[in-house]
Amino acid sequence: MDDHDSPQTPKGSFRKFLEHLSGAGKAIGVLTSGGDAQGMNAAVRAVVRMGIYVGAKVYFIYEGYQGMVDGGSNIVEANWESVSSILQVGGTIIGSARCRDFRTREGRLKAACNLVQLGITSLCVIGGDGSLTGAHIFQTEWSGLLEELARDGKISAEQVQKHGHLNVVGMVGSIDNDFCGTDMTIGTDSALHRIIEVVDAIMTTAQSHQRTFVLEVMGRHCGYLALVSALACGADWVFLPESPPEEGWQENMCVKLSENRARKKRLNIIIVAEGAIDTQNKPITSEQIKELVVTQLGYDTRVTILGHVQRGGTPSAFDRILASRMGVEAVVALLQATPETPACVVSLSGNQAVRLPLMECVQMTQEVQKAMDERRFKDAVQLRGRSFENNLNTYKRLAIKLPDSEIPKSNCNVGVVNVGAPAAGMNAAVRAAVRVGISEGHKMFAVYDGFEGFAKGQIKEIGWGDVGGWTGQGGSILGTKRILPGKYLEDIAAQMRTHGISALLIIGGFEAYLGLLELLAARQKHEEFCVPMVMVPATVSNNVPGSDFSIGADTALNTITDTCDRIKQSASGTKRRVFIIETMGGFCGYLANMGGLAAGADAAYIFEEPFDIRDLQSNVEHLTEKMKTSIQRGLVLRNESCSENYTTDFIYQLYSEEGKGVFDCRKNVLGHMQQGGAPSPFDRNFGTKISARAMQWISSKLRESAGKGKKFLSEDSVCVLGISKRTLLFQPVAELKKETDFEHRIPKEQWWLKLRPLMKILAKYKVSFEVSDASQLEPVQPHGAEEPAAI
């Protein structure tokens, strides 16, 4: 939940919450409308369970607004078990339809009548901007509709009195990510998963035959999917509705493709949004592009149109967590609403849940379309938000290399090194750093095998073409080691002198952080270390101080979630079975906790929240109760280091003994599969953007000292670059020391612990729950001075 710089709410806040925000006597209707999106079910599940949890009645409204107009068996009260086992299902179980009737006043009259009969005066709408606009109109007309129904004798005057106002909260479910005001809409991340799976598969066949592939992705009016997938797979060219190619693009594109072939690149990938246009607003189709490449260059070219594949499949871990957080926040917003509260939309800013005025967001979304229609393309890109603009600029920098003669030389050599355990997305980060470095005029040096390789002189200059195709590779191509620089300081200093290294980018986990502290401490002895050094966090454990996220954690989370889905399926088949699953993460419970939220676990044991035998006992009792319902399976996650004595084996044995005759038990240690695999779209994109930003910081530091030959002595020249709440921050490692628990290798404060109660509520535990103080709406686009952390 969101707590804007509010002081920590005292523990008694939950009592306050229940008294002031009890849902007793409230009836909430939940519907999904418009095009479907993966993760809608997770949102429906969260709304239903949170609603029941606070004592409200929750009704499914089947088939969107059509069901609301038709009424009858389309509006049905939901219970706890109605939403069991839907977390991992794509689409929406309550159905969605485009509805003509609701656009007429007669249709809305029928809908209002159906809702009033059941006492539903709170609506939770999950859909795109059209669906949300419909809800807004419905809310503004509500009292008029009721008066008319009373005049026609359809409802009583008493009902008008009692149900006099309607409250509406929206959640944006749309794979296009085309809604202004929210960083990510539900379904976008999953759609990117589908696209990237296809691109990865196509790359191997294209490479075998030296082919050019034109891929058409969804996005009639919004190029987000095309842009981010181009960024994530290193496409040669991308066509977007918001940013049409300049006049003469046909020539430029063919030159670019042939240059890439000349650099020994065996394939070309061109990504086209289905709504791509030129500067005259004429459509650019994938067939047109194919014709052009074949006639101009004679390359073997194929077109693949992804179509509805992008809407399908199971939701990613990100979408499940996003939808669960938003669903709970939506119920809280409905409980806090007064008759005067305007319709709001629950959305994500950085990693904070926020509420925004619905109509302002819709109007801004429509402004983008208007700007495109009027050929004001610069405005269109800006209205899409800073995240879209950043993506576009980063893509252009990394895709198109200027001729060497046009790049002013900086005469600086910058080293890039991977430290710690491998994490998916490290290679995307190295690629981005190398290319941004070269475009800023530096010579880039790759250091192989961590600090040990550094000491041994395993250092080579690395060029633009050397990192081609790296974004989709898992693990660490440069090689990485956990060894700290402490015992090699002399040798590393000598190598830095030999290669004239004037700045260092370190990509890694907690060891990288410790290594950076050691290099900082060695500055008095070795002046070679008096250079700008920055660390980009990359570890599956997500335990680096100074950042809410680290590269690789999202991929690991998806691996855990996929495995849990399969295990739950096996447990459902055998009935009355509980699985205990051990996750990685060292002492950091991020993977166990978030994996539990994404997979719908009954409990997650983590080091940060100490537990004893009584807690284990209550979990066993909870599972025993659950086995009496129709949901006869259990899933328990345990972080590998959550307790010295309550080991996975111990918990397994305890559960087996205590559950005798009620359920049986199995255990599963996931192990190193969590470090491997192709990086998820999130990790590719995050790695690319954060690393590019780190290189820009290095360049600006080097420019400051250019020609002055000054040494970098201040502590702010050794930083960790991370995401904190909603901003990208460079924080000096020296200052982060006080925020670190070195013994357990975790930050002292971790944002995701606020989401613990969420998992427990959705698993039917009574817990105290901090309500956000965000009952007031935020302005739609606050242009702050700090950098936006949208990913």
Return the active site residues: 176
Please provide residue 228's backbone torsions phi and psi, each rounded to the nearest 5 degrees: -70, -35
Task: Please tell me the distance from the alpha carbon of residue 224 to that of residue 187, in angstroms, as a whole number.
Answer: 12
> 249 near 278, Cβ under 8 Å?
yes
**Helix (H/G/I), strand (E/B), else coil: 127:** strand
How far is CA 347 from its chain centroid? 12
> 486 near 425, Cβ under 8 Å?
no
Task: Please tell me the distance from the alpha carbon of residue 152 to that of residue 146, in angstroms, as a whole number.
Answer: 10
Task: Please tell me the distance from the alpha carbon of residue 359 to that of residue 382, in angstroms, as a whole number.
Answer: 19
**Strand spans (E) along 17-86:** 27-32, 57-61, 75-77
How large is the C-alpha radius of gyration of the chain? 27
Task: Please tell me the distance from the alpha carbon of residue 355 to that of residue 778, in angstroms, as a whole number.
Answer: 6
259: left (phi over 0), alpha (psi -120 to 50) or beta: alpha
Give the closest residue to 698 by CA, choosing from 666, 730, 675.
Answer: 730
Sheet holding 413-419, edge to edge: 459-461, 443-447, 413-419, 501-508, 533-537, 718-724, 727-732
How far is CA 48 from its chain centroid? 23
Tokens of 43: 């949102």
Percent of the chain as helix, strand, coil, to the nearest 5 = 45, 15, 35
**Helix (H/G/I), strand (E/B), else coil: 256:** helix
Tokens of 428: 């995307």
One-letter amino acid identity for 231? Answer: L
| DSSP label of 365 | H
> 194 near 312, Cβ under 8 Å?
yes
Q: Are strands 413-419 and 443-447 parallel, antiparallel or unpaired?
A: parallel
DSSP letter for each residue of 237-278: EEE-SSSPPPTTHHHHHHHHHHHHHHTT---EEEEEETT-B-
Ordered alpha helix ranges (H), 119-156: 129-151
